[in-house]
Structure 1
Amino acid sequence: MIPVNNQITEQIPRQLFVSTAQNAELVSGHSMPTQAAVQRILQLLPEIKPQHNVMHIGAGTGYLSAVLSGLAAKVFAVERDARLIRDASQRFATLGINNIQLVLADVNDGIGVSEPCQLILATCLLSHYEQLVPLLTENGLLVVIEDEKDHVSNFVLYQKQHVTLIRQHKLGWIDFSRRLADMVIDLGYADDAMLAEAKLDAKRNNELFAHALNRKIQQHSKDLYEAMAAERQLSFIDFDSLIKQVDSSLFNHFSRTFLDRSRALPVTLQGNRMTVVTDNPDADLAELAVMNGNGKIHCVLVTPEDFRRLWTQLEVSAKAQHKSGLVSKTHPEDTAADALPSPVNPYLVSLYEALLLEAVSEHASDIHLECYQNTPRVRLRIDGDLHDLTHFQVSMSELAGLINVIKIRAELDIAERRLPQGGRSQVKQGKHLYDLRVQTQPSLHAEHVVIRLLKHTGRAMTMQDLGMSPRVAAMYQRLLNNPAGLVLVVGPTGSGKSTTLYAGLQELADDGKRKVITVEDPIEYSIDKVQQTRVRADIGFDFPDAVRAFVRQDPDVILVGEIRDHPTALEAARASQTGHLVLSTLHCNDAVDAIQRLKDLNIHPNSIASELLAVIAQRLAKRICPDCRAPAEPDLVILGELFPDGVPGNFRCFAGAGCSRCHGRGTLGRIAVVEFLLMNTDIRNAISRENTASELRWQALDAGMITMRDSALNLVIDGIIPLHELPKVLLQERMAPEHRGGVQQL
């Protein structure tokens, strides 16, 4: 047998032999053994001397053949797939290996090799061996697979004596299955450094390696677990498909501690066949099989997120079976407002937590609880659109109780159902803390509630995360370097104004050379190294008070969460006049409209002209899902609005076809469509002269203002947003190029 020497395999970089994504189905098993499998093969093989010729049948990607080339004088690598032969040839050339002869042949049809071999190794199943006898020297050895089960193969040794193969003995079992670490590297999800970090995290947090790794590559969670399922020959299912077939009563038959330790949830039982879901690809379900009377166990793999969602749903269902004694009895004539169950009902608390988990898992920005004609409705706002949660079915009394739970968490008055109320609370899901802004509103049939979810990470999005074009990002970065002045980000509610400002704050925090103070209502994102203050109107501490106090704290940059009234606008202007860079937001439609809005707040035009540095107006548009993006046929109606004088010949657009990653929507996430007005002398003079808004706009266009139409068209052509998003972000009058005196302003 070959002496064990890990350097033999470490000299050949296995990663080089991993097939491309197009050939992903080939990167497994015998065609691409793991490093551990190769080391085991070398342990079992008879000794290979430097003068020996070796033949490797089933060379696959060439990895094992390359390892054998370091032991033998010559290696004949036999493979019947021409595509793999071509790939292997290139890899051997890259490594400078010149003692391997590639042979394109099917072993059953015969192999044309002129030189006999002292050893033939077959890492694929062969139906017969007679055709290999002439290829062996006298007393030459043949190693073949004669039994295989679940990726584990039994190697057997034969020896040529005269013209006959004599079976000698079994060499041992080889496990060709990929470990999780090998698989994620082969599929391009991680590298060695990421794997090392995941292993440390798993050990530190006493958790499964698969879970620690999943956190590292969160954006590919579903793809990763689908690949794990295929590798382990398991079924894979997503939450939406799974929840339709779950028998929640099974959950009560098992200990919660046992299920948590096993990472398994029983979901259906048909005869003696139990279907169990798990988020551990290597889960040992033997104990569950015993509990099922040694019946069959069908294991289905889900992502950790879906496993947690299902666990919560099953717990809610289990508590629902016992809630009849917990919910207050109501009579048919009782109104929904009067039929209030106990606000500390455990079932309703679990229901609220399940709803929050659902929202977090779907990356929702808001939760809407509504009621129409005595029919409760639960919806999530995802990427700007509302989606019904059909699997959250609640009755009228449950809705009233659920709203009570929400009010208690947000420190609101549960007895007050006639007036709107606003509050906030926090929730922790996994390792992330979420700030919840709760707003209640009385309506015809019942109270409605909207909950906004804000994630606390200690860091805001960067300009790169925002998806700003290089030109706009450079202009924004230059604004932040100004020693003083006023920078406004404007747009309607929910247009991402605060996110854009926070991206600038994050740049300043990372730089660390200037002191940054903010006053906000509320603090939407917590940023390390930035001094953040919350408005407290209930004790008389509002925006103007905060700004007046801030200028005595020696700040370089002041962020005012929103300019709402004259006192706030006046203090912001004064702060910029006294040598501070002031960042803030306004509610208005476009960049030029912000100037008029400041006038409406009684700020003198000369102050606006002297202190205002720039205005950034923005809207949010849906991003095309990168996994299913494809060229699309443009909507002729939209094209007619965009290009009334004719469509440019090089115009193109894209759309998402819908895939598992985007849940069939074709879009994933949102991006800001920006209008950028940078002040210059001509615009300042026009402001001081109190020109009309239309005159100011033409002056801004002449000065090179980046319009929202320009930004949107660039995003469409670059395949970032679909064409049908443009009417949602552009006013109808701004769809076509803006003309002035017959000249197009582009």
Structure 2
Amino acid sequence: MKKISPRAQTALLAVSRHEFVAGSDLAPSITGHSIPREEIVQHLLSLMPEIEPDQTVMHVGGGSGYLAAVLSELAHRVIYVERNPVVAEAARARFFRLGMHNVDVVTSDIAELPALEGDCDLILCTTFVPRPEIMAPYLREGGSLICLEGRAGPVPSLAMFEKRGEALNRVRTLGWVDFNRNAEQILIDLGVIDEKMLAEARTEAAKSNSRVLDLIRRKLNLDEIDLYRKLAQQRGMTFVDAEELMPQLQPALFRRFSRTFLDLSRMVPVRESGGQITVITDDPDARTDQLERLTPQSSIQCLLVTPTDFRRIWSSLDLTAKGRQFVADHSQAPGEKPEPSRARSEPLGDADSHHHVSPYLVSVYEAILLDAVSEKASDIHIEQYGERVRIRLRVDGELHDLPQYQLTPRELRGVINVIKLRAELNIAEHRLPQGGRSQLKMGDNYFDLRVQTQPSLHGEHAVIRLLPQTGRAMTISELGMSSVIGARYQRLLDNPAGLVLVVGPTGSGKSTTLYAGLQNLADDGRRKVITVEDPIEYSIDNIQQTRVRADIGFSFADAMRSFVREDPDVILVGEIRDQETALEAIRASQTGHVVLSTLHSNDAVDSLQRLYDLGIHPNSIAGELLAVIAQRLAKRICTHCRRPAEPEPMILSELFPDGAPANFQCFEGEGCDKCNGRGTVGRVAIVEYLEVNADIRNAISSQPPIGELRWRALDAGLITMRDSALDQVIEGVIPLSELPRILPRERMAPEIRGGRRSLQ
């Protein structure tokens, strides 16, 4: 690099770049061109003509103002030009704060630049101008214009023009200028990391053979989509997600390039149209020049995606290629009759089983798992209806299709075989349901997969539940319960003894609520906790977890009898299914232990009837039961697109038969890219809470009819599910439309308490 003059060196040292890159106010449109690195500014000053103290300089594409600030130390007057008004106002505030009063801020597009007072001695354009000659009216005779050329290339060149008469004459090319900040520099500019953290990440990445950006994202637990969207904005790239691109993929284009080249360059070509090839990358610093040399007749458009979407798109294109090869290898011989659609009750022979376990089918299964993990699905459903194969994911309680997997029944049987092999099931058995489990490692994340296969009319179906194994569960504060119920739940765990039940139907989040209590106990560390589960859904550090083994005669009741001799403070029983387990839970409570368990029932009061039906004496229930938490899961409104909503009249009439309150409000999600247009993200537990006090104990002991037991519970302070749901609606956590889904019709209206209707 050519040396710069002492004046230029002094100017560079006089301005702190940090003043212009504070992460809190860095506008999204700020790119490397408008906030260059210090070494790039030094390089620019070495290429440009010497700026004299009495000259006027214009900087077009001013951005954050850093380069204009350096120029203000050299010139008498600097005219800063920026078309984005938000960016320009932020720069104006910086100039004023730093006392740079010789900088005039002009907010305008180049083509609409107003007449200026006085001509400029030098105009520097660090943004591309459509035609250099449009800058001529602002230059004095003999003045210089320096602007960028070579927009299509990865690194632009700097050209110099001089004004002679009314025309601009090109003098020479000054040199190449790489304005690009790499992803690491952008993260520093945004305030996400500092130099020390970056150095540590580089060292660790070199040892683990991983990318620095991936390591930083994991260590700081940054949201993948947010991070890559910000990087795209700062790099001047377009950010897209896989859902937009999936319908446009062109497998034939993908097959034209070497897989090794694409993998090393971190690029995937996805479509070609009108002489332009669109590629995607998960590397913000990816260079397209090598690809341009391979395709000289086409221009390249590079889009940025997240690493997860990059893997999904690669898998989809790769699977299509392998699938066509699979079809070619397994096409019917001439004259062979097509296989009729029928119920598959006969076992496949060994040859047929081996025939269907191909690398392609393994790839299909792994791609489905990748899609499920990326969409945070809880379950995968693989089904066949006649000749139609359907693959669905359950996300936030709702099933939706994965249309990109167009499998034939023959391919489906092969995928089912892959699933069975992974779960160590009998691959030759197709007549009976089978259950098993396997493990999945996706990046640094581990998942426990619970597999269930089921014979049906047209073939076997499979359901796979994905359980993340992080070593931690949610805590009580993270559940989304009201602060009142959360505090009461925490207090229950501090009791010396007693039985706590969490009840609800399958899939209502009972285990999650119990595990949240266990996580709090594990974090506290003062009490010994033992669990017996079937199966162990989440592994929690510092908790002793035991699995039921029915095949060798080790049941819940057997585990409970052995647990009381191991000096525990808290015992979790995965589920009370029968009288023997219920009795052992009561006995463990009577011997001085807090016992947590689940029970299948519709609400808190119904759980008491369920215990009666199991043959537990009413006095034992009354003496040991501390509380019952009944719950359902409701969809949570996306916080990024939440807006006030007009309540649905039919729901309002059910909720408030005597008329809704005048100030009643509710909210909904409009749908945005954060929630994939659904308007909801995740779910929250809607809780009914029954704490057993003296009045409830007396009622339980007398074993009244269930209706009388409920109104006595209401009088004793039962927090109903309706109460909890309405609180969440008013606070904007869940939409009003969720209430009919989680509340039966008779519980929508306020309930009778002691013969009087509640005013709530």
Q: Give the alignment's TM-score, normalised by structure 1.
A: 0.86
- Per-residue Cα deviation, 1:252-297 (whole angstroms, up to 9, x for no partner): 4544333322222334456975443322233234444455576544
Q: In 1, Cα distance between the equivalents of 2:125 and 2:382?
A: 64
> Aligned match of 2:21 in 4, 15, 19?
15
Matched, 1:299 2:310: no
Structure 2 counterpart SS, 1:544: helix
- Per-residue Cα deviation, 1:30-75 (whole angstroms, up to 9, x for no partner): 54445554455566678899x9898664554444455667x57987
Structure 1 counterpart SS, 2:707: helix
Amino acid at match of 2:758: Q
Q: In 2, Cα distance between the equivalents of 1:475 and 1:685?
A: 21
Superposed, 1:634-653 pairs within 5 Å as: 634-653=647-666
2:104 corresponds to which residue? Answer: 103
Query: Cα gap change, 1:689/1:339 in structure 2, threshold over 3 Å: closer, same or farther?
Result: closer
Query: Cα gap change, 1:76/1:158 in structure 2, threshold over 3 Å: closer, same or farther?
Result: same
Matched, 1:495 2:508: yes
Amino acid at match of 2:643: A
- Per-residue Cα deviation, 1:560-610 (whole angstroms, up to 9, x for no partner): 111111111111122122222211111111122222222222222222222
- Per-residue Cα deviation, 1:83-127 (whole angstroms, up to 9, x for no partner): 55543454456xx533535534479645559xx999987766684
How many residue pairs are counted as aligned between the two chains? 728
Query: Cα gap change, 1:736/1:187 in structure 2, threshold over 3 Å: closer, same or farther?
Result: farther
Shift in Å, 1:418: 2.6
Task: Note if contact 2:23-2:191 (Cα within 8 Å) is conserved in structure 1.
Answer: no
More displaced 10-residue stretch of structure 1: 346-355 or 529-538: 346-355
Task: Note if contact 2:573-2:595 (Cα within 8 Å) is conserved in structure 1.
Answer: yes
Q: In 1, Cα distance between the equivalents of 2:269 and 2:19?
A: 42
Q: In 2, Cα distance between the equivalents of 1:80 and 1:236?
A: 24
Shift in Å, 1:543: 0.8
Matched, 1:742 2:748: no
Structure 2 counterpart SS, 1:460: coil
Structure 2 counterpart SS, 1:545: helix
Query: Cα gap change, 1:681/1:473 in structure 2, threshold over 3 Å: closer, same or farther?
Result: same
Amino acid at match of 2:326: K
Amino acid at match of 1:314: L
Matched, 1:533 2:546: yes
Query: Cα gap change, 1:245/1:101 in structure 2, threshold over 3 Å: closer, same or farther?
Result: same
More displaced 10-residue stretch of structure 1: 396-405 or 178-187: 178-187
Amino acid at match of 2:675: C
Query: Cα gap change, 1:128/1:659 in structure 2, threshold over 3 Å: closer, same or farther?
Result: closer
1:670 corresponds to which residue? Answer: 683
Matched, 1:342 2:378: no
Shift in Å, 1:5: 9.5
Shift in Å, 1:492: 0.6
Superposed, 1:160-559 pairs within 5 Å as: 173-184=176-187, 199=202, 202-215=205-218, 220-229=223-232, 231-232=234-235, 234-268=237-271, 274-292=277-295, 295-324=298-327, 325=329, 331-333=338-340, 335-337=342-344, 338=346, 340=348, 341-343=352-354, 344-559=357-572
Query: Cα gap change, 1:197/1:378 in structure 2, threshold over 3 Å: closer, same or farther?
Result: farther
Shift in Å, 1:655: 1.4
More displaced 10-residue stretch of structure 1: 722-731 or 570-579: 570-579
Q: In 2, Cα distance between the equivalents of 1:159 and 1:249?
A: 52
Matched, 1:633 2:646: yes
Shift in Å, 1:210: 4.0
More displaced 10-residue stretch of structure 1: 98-107 or 489-498: 98-107
Structure 1 counterpart SS, 2:158: strand
Task: Note if contact 1:153-1:176 (Cα within 8 Å) is conserved in structure 2.
Answer: no
Task: Note if contact 2:599-2:607 (Cα within 8 Å) is conserved in structure 1.
Answer: yes
Amino acid at match of 2:308: E
Query: Cα gap change, 1:611/1:43 in structure 2, threshold over 3 Å: closer, same or farther?
Result: farther
Structure 2 counterpart SS, 1:558: strand
RMSD, aligned CA: 3.8
Gaps of 5+ in 2: none
Query: Cα gap change, 1:5/1:653 in structure 2, threshold over 3 Å: closer, same or farther?
Result: same
- Per-residue Cα deviation, 1:314-368 (whole angstroms, up to 9, x for no partner): 3322332333545898753474525844243333222222221221122111111
Q: In 2, Cα distance between the equivalents of 1:465 and 1:330?
A: 59
More displaced 10-residue stretch of structure 1: 255-264 or 424-433: 255-264
Amino acid at match of 1:342: S
More displaced 10-residue stretch of structure 1: 301-310 or 2-11: 2-11
Matched, 1:683 2:696: yes
Query: Cα gap change, 1:264/1:336 in structure 2, threshold over 3 Å: closer, same or farther?
Result: farther
Matched, 1:24 2:28: yes
Task: Note if contact 1:56-1:78 (Cα within 8 Å) is conserved in structure 2.
Answer: yes
Task: Note if contact 2:530-2:544 (Cα within 8 Å) is conserved in structure 1.
Answer: yes
Q: Give the alignment's TM-score, normalised by structure 2.
A: 0.85
Amino acid at match of 2:651: I
Task: Note if contact 2:343-2:457 (Cα within 8 Å) is conserved in structure 1.
Answer: no
Q: In 1, Cα distance between the equivalents of 2:533 and 2:730?
A: 37
Query: Cα gap change, 1:538/1:195 in structure 2, threshold over 3 Å: closer, same or farther?
Result: same
Q: In 2, Cα distance between the equivalents of 1:179 and 1:402?
A: 42
Shift in Å, 1:194: 7.1
> Aligned match of 1:154 in 143, 153, 158?
158
Query: Cα gap change, 1:635/1:208 in structure 2, threshold over 3 Å: closer, same or farther?
Result: same
Structure 2 counterpart SS, 1:387: strand
Amino acid at match of 2:668: A
Q: In 2, Cα distance between the equivalents of 1:143 and 1:549?
A: 90
Q: In 2, Cα distance between the equivalents of 1:421 and 1:409?
A: 13
Query: Cα gap change, 1:194/1:450 in structure 2, threshold over 3 Å: closer, same or farther?
Result: farther
Query: Cα gap change, 1:293/1:24 in structure 2, threshold over 3 Å: closer, same or farther?
Result: closer
Shift in Å, 1:529: 1.6
Task: Note if contact 1:339-1:397 (Cα within 8 Å) is conserved in structure 2.
Answer: no
More displaced 10-residue stretch of structure 1: 562-571 or 283-292: 283-292
1:581 corresponds to which residue? Answer: 594
Shift in Å, 1:639: 1.1
Superposed, 1:22-171 pairs within 5 Å as: 24-25=28-29, 27-29=30-32, 31-34=34-37, 37-38=40-41, 40-41=43-44, 57-58=59-60, 59-65=62-68, 78-79=80-81, 84=87, 86-91=89-94, 97-101=98-102, 103-105=104-106, 109=114, 111=116, 127-128=134-135, 145-150=146-151, 152=156, 154=158
Amino acid at match of 1:309: R
Shift in Å, 1:386: 1.0
Structure 1 counterpart SS, 2:437: strand
2:616 corresponds to which residue? Answer: 603
